[in-house]
Amino acid sequence: MSKLNKRFISAIVMISIFLYLIYDASILGVIFAELIFSIVFWEYLGFFKKKKNKIIFTIVFIFLNVIFPLLIINFITRPSTDSIFPIFIFSIASFIWILIGITIFRFEKEHWSDLKVACLGILVLTPAMDSLFIILSQPMYPLLIIGTVSIADTAAYFFGKKFGKTLIIPKVSPGKTVEGFVGSLIVTPFVTMISAIIFNLNIFHFIFFGIAIALISFFGDVFFSLLKRNKGMKDSSDLIPGHGGFIDLLDGTIAVLPFFALSALMVFLLGFNFSWITF
């Protein structure tokens, strides 16, 4: 079986299981989501060079992921203008991804120390994991995020394979092309627009959503590619046939989660309901 076929089958199986468990809205789905992120965390430890730095990073990460969820749950159960700390956190996380995008395009051949890898890990993984408390509050959220990211990745892959000639960031990810990226920016909002028409939703909202997902997931993809290149790794692990690891499968999704959580919290704070996003 070719690597492409393994990659396709693995992605379909993993995404189908994940979406079923989340959409079922059961405690099992929540446990499964947390398990996946625990594996992502374990794979991220592989980007460190020294064992003691892995231990320090683990302690800090666990501490933060005990404090932040309590604040988020407090906001959800008792929303008020005096309880905007989660919005502040996800705003910072979203801004961090913008800075990461700038860093990626300016990357030369610098060596990233364990300290830099740890700081980036805290800034990227913590809000992504904590966003699950927002994302899992509505069964359609995971479906929207994972489905749209998958469309963006697939479009970029096939457009790049068919038309790709111009490398976009060869020093970070030699496989990424301008043509693939443009293809993703065209196909993703087109598909979300069709979905909006079918389900009688706001077309312009979903076009914007598709464009945003294509951009943000691209940053997540190349960011983790940069980390692997810094460590001299091809894949984050070998747990998923054809893909490598869970980071390799969910790199774009990890980047999208805090943006989506921020949007959901802002809507919640302003007092709107979520009827437009449920079937």
List the chain pLDDT tens, one digit each, 279 residues. 555 565 666 667 766 766 666 555 566 767 777 888 899 999 999 999 899 999 999 999 988 888 877 776 666 666 555 557 777 888 888 889 888 888 887 777 768 899 999 999 999 999 998 888 788 777 778 878 888 998 898 899 889 988 988 988 887 888 889 999 999 999 999 999 998 898 887 888 889 889 999 999 999 999 998 898 888 888 888 887 766 888 988 899 999 999 888 887 776 665 544 444 443
CB 75 within 8 A of CB 89: no
Residue 113, φ and ψ in degrees, nearest 5: -75, 170
pLDDT reported for residue 278: 41
pLDDT reported for residue 4: 57
Torsion angle of C-alpha atoms 131, 142, 18, 232, degrees rounded to 10: -60
CB 259 within 8 A of CB 97: yes
Query: The tokens of 61 are what?
Result: 């990460």
Handedness of CA 269, 60, 122, 132 (dihedral sign): negative
Report the distance separating Cα 99 and Cα 109, nearest Å: 18
Report the distance separating Cα 103 and Cα 61, nearest Å: 23
What contacts 141, CB < 8 A, 6 or more positions away?
134, 135, 260, 264, 277
Output 60-65 pairs: Cβ under 8 A, ≥24 positions apart. 60/118, 60/122, 61/121, 61/122, 61/125, 61/126, 64/122, 64/126, 65/126, 65/129, 65/130
pLDDT reported for residue 275: 42
pLDDT reported for residue 69: 75
DSSP-derived 3-state class of residue 101? helix
- The tokens 């809205």 sit on which residue? 25
What is the value of pTM for the model shown?
Answer: 0.86
pLDDT reported for residue 24: 56
If one counts the domains in the chain, the total is: 1
**H-run or E-run covering 192:** helix 178-198
CB 22 within 8 A of CB 147: no
CB 247 within 8 A of CB 44: yes
Structural domain containing residue 79: 3-277
